[in-house]
């Protein structure tokens, strides 16, 4: 998967390659974790969830390790923005240094690898994503010169959304830009797909195959570009 960067070079983890999950969780200073890599894919962090997580930390709850990507120099946060914000809140409120470090699961890669991991990080766990959160993740890939060449199905897989959801966003982006949509895209296997010819062959008259939607998905109700997302009541029962 493009975005995992150059071969991973670090004397501390000899032999690791981009995409490798490094053995065992490590404890990092919260100050060492970079948040400026563009991997925060939500429309915004939820203050109620941050408060709830902070209270759970105080109660002794154990949260999953954060997910970070290490390029040999920097640790880029990919998953755990609400948890890290909760620790920061506790550090500011209590002055207790124990909230200045956190357990992390480290993957070898670069900043773009963190973006790819973040695009679908909360698709199956954590605070349920709003439609606008899903849109933000899909648009991050569709707006990237390299990732925009991927097929709608591949982008949907990475972002944990439906393929029709991605296709709709791509059409809206092309219409807004006054440009034709790309007709050649790359599939998950790396092969080029000529999507412009889809539906124009002898089988064009056959019924379309059934679409399988992701469990609990609200993608088919996504608003048009620029429309406000419908509010979703925060759920603070799982880590995000």
Distance CA 156, CA 158 (A): 6
Band (pLDDT 50/70/90 cuts) for residue 177 is confident
Q: 139 with 226: CB under 8 angstroms?
A: no
pLDDT surpassing 70 at residue 137: yes
Residue 105: what pLDDT? Answer: 93
pLDDT surpassing 90 at residue 15: no
Phi, psi of 107 (to 5 degrees): -115, 140
Q: Which of residues 142 and 224 earns the better pLDDT score?
A: 142
């Amino acid at each position: 998967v493009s975005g995992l960067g150059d071969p991973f070079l670090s004397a501390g983890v000899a032999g690791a390659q981009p995409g490798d999950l490094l053995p065992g969780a490590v404890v990092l200073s919260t100050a060492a974790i970079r948040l400026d890599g563009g991997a925060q894919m939500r429309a915004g962090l939820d203050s109620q969830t941050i408060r709830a997580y902070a209270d759970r930390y105080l109660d002794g709850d154990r949260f999953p390790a954060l997910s970070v990507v290490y390029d040999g120099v920097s640790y880029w946060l990919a998953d755990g923005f609400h948890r890290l914000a909760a620790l920061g809140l506790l550090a500011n409120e209590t002055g207790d240094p124990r909230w200045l470090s956190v357990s992390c699961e480290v993957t070898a890669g670069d900043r773009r690898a963190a973006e790819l991991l973040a695009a679908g990080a909360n698709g199956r766990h954590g605070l349920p994503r709003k439609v606008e959160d899903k849109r933000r993740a899909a648009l991050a890939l569709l707006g990237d010169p390299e990732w925009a060449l991927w097929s709608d199905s591949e982008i949907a897989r990475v972002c944990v959304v439906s393929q029709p959801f991605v296709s709709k966003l791509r059409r809206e982006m092309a219409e807004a830009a006054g440009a034709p949509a790309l007709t050649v895209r790359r599939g998950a296997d790396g092969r080029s797909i000529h999507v412009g010819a889809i539906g124009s062959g002898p089988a064009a008259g056959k019924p379309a195959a059934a679409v399988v939607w992701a469990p609990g998905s609200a993608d088919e109700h996504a608003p048009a570009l620029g429309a406000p997302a419908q509010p979703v009541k925060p759920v603070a029962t799982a880590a995000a």
